[in-house]
Amino acid sequence: MLLTTMGVVIGERVYGENDKFIDVFTKDYGIIEVTVKGGRKLNSKNASATALFSYSKFCVSKRGERYYLNSSEIENTFYDLRLDVKKLALASYFAELLKYTVLSYDSDKSYEIILKLFLNTLYYLEKDTHKILLLKSVFEFRLLSEIGLIPNLIGCCSCNAYSDHKMHFDILEGKLYCDSCFSGTDGYNTISLDEGTLSALRHISLSDMNILFNIKVSDRLLSELNKITDRYTLAHINRNFKTLEYFKKISEL
């Protein structure tokens, strides 16, 4: 059976002398592993379309449960990501997070919105239009929101208040409390939010995809935002990613 789909390469492994396997996150089929015969030869006609982070049109044949590449057509290589060690590390973390979350994603839904999120994030990362940590926060928090781990940030979970001089976010429960209803203490998993941080979190999880990246934050707000999305991701995905550890190490976070 022949299939044609758009997708982005999020992993590659060598196989045999000249071949390789690539993990492709596709619009139509989620993540598929594709065998690229001769993909490691220097003169391979599929070399750039099957390189890590390339976004391409793939024509594959499906035999049993396996996919084999027939032909490919490059759309965007995101080549400059590979020239910056920090960007490459962050993009690799995004790919790992994507791999881990999409495999448990309800496949009845379309992958289109998640693919768009990933491609837009890579685009802005490559073009240096946003602070690198802001892209990390936006990607991880929006991805989790899209796959069903969206926190309730509309208002206080007890009295529905939309705002207070201070709100408290329970990271584990994914719930918001106004200051009057809050009876706990702030700590690692419960963080008090000022208006700016809450509004940034609301924007990232709820805004239309077309305006998602229209967001500007101060350095102070960004460090707060990144602390929250980092802890939220760890709490709900419940595993460590080597690529994230590496990114943090070279970013001295």
Binding stretches for Zn ion (CB under 5 A): 156, 158-159, 161, 178, 181
Name beta bridge partners: 168: 177, 192
Minimum CB separation of residue 159 from Zn ion in Å reads 3
Residue nearer to Zn ion on the CB measure, 161 or 215:
161
Structure tokens at 101: 């979350």
Residue nearer to Zn ion on the CB measure, 35 or 152:
152
Residue matched to tokens 């960007």 = 87
Give the orientation angle of helix 219-237 with respect to helix 195-206, to 10 degrees. 50
Which residue in 249, 201, 252 sits closest to 224, CA to CA?
A: 201
Cβ-based neighbours of 209, under 8 Å, separated by 6 or more:
113, 116, 117, 120
Do the beta carbons of residue 21 and residue 50 sit within 8 Å?
no
Residue nearer to Zn ion on the CB measure, 43 or 183:
183
Q: Calculate Rg over the CA atoms of the chain.
A: 20
Minimum CB separation of residue 157 from Zn ion in Å reads 8
Phi, psi of 55 (to 5 degrees): -105, 120
Minimum CB separation of residue 170 from Zn ion in Å reads 13
Minimum CB separation of residue 197 from Zn ion in Å reads 18
Phi-psi region of 106 (alpha: psi -120 to 50; beta: other; left: phi over 0): beta
Structure tokens at 82: 């590979």
Residue nearer to Zn ion on the CB measure, 44 or 158:
158
Minimum CB separation of residue 40 from Zn ion in Å reads 59
Residue nearer to Zn ion on the CB measure, 14 or 159:
159
- Integer angstrom CA distances of residue 81 from 10, 55, 103, 116, 142: 13, 13, 25, 17, 21
Minimum CB separation of residue 199 from Zn ion in Å reads 18
Residue nearer to Zn ion on the CB measure, 102 or 156:
156
Name beta bridge partners: 15: 19
Minimum CB separation of residue 177 from Zn ion in Å reads 6
Residue nearer to Zn ion on the CB measure, 57 or 166:
166
